Amino acid sequence: MSKETLLRKLRQVPDFPIPGILFYDVTTLFKDPTSLKELSDELYEMYRDKGITKVVGIESRGFIMGPILATRLDAGFVPVRKPGKLPAETIEESYDKEYGKDTIQMHKDAIGPDDVVLIHDDLLATGGAMRAACKLVKQMRPRKIFVNFLIELKALRGDKGFDPDIDVQTVLTL
């Protein structure tokens, strides 16, 4: 299967979650076993030799491929969630998104200084959620941070503003 085939399988939902936003729905890729395996294989190949010890997934679609990738890389999985969803002591970061403001949290003890971390989410639009997640992870002082998205909306330039020491990659580009 090619990247072009994966892109064709994406569902486009106009005016979601608010009027004027064109939402790219990756659940059409997740429900198809061939597409899901292709994404899993592609992500594994991108990171198999990087020494990843923790995969951080951003709520909620980062919770799908994140654990799959963590299992394949023999790494742990760390969820980043909306406030009030994690049971132990957390740290948090707020950010602006293209249609509002939001806050994310992570357990304070989720990552250690010996960890090599891959932060994963489904879509790079403006990059607010991922930059906030990077700030959370950086507080833990891991050895290295990698960032990955399934899809990047290139026209929105969300890849700008990441620290130069963070490797940012995407599987598919629109």
DSSP 103: E
Considering only the C-alpha atoms of the chain, give the largest distance between any 2 of them, rounded to a whole number of Å. Answer: 44
Query: Do the Cβ atoms of 168 and 162 come closer than 8 Å?
Result: yes
| Annotated catalytic residue, options 42, 59, 92, 98 | 98
Instruction: Based on the residue annotation, tell me whether 59 is a catalytic residue of this protein.
Output: no
Out of 38, 61, 93, 131, pick the active-site residue: 61
Is 45 considered catalytic here? no
Q: DSSP secondary structure string, 35-96?
A: HHHHHHHHHHHHHTTTT--EEEEETTTHHHHHHHHHHHHT-EEEEEB-TT--SS-EEEEEEE
Tokens coding 22: 């064109």
The catalytic site residues sit at 61, 98
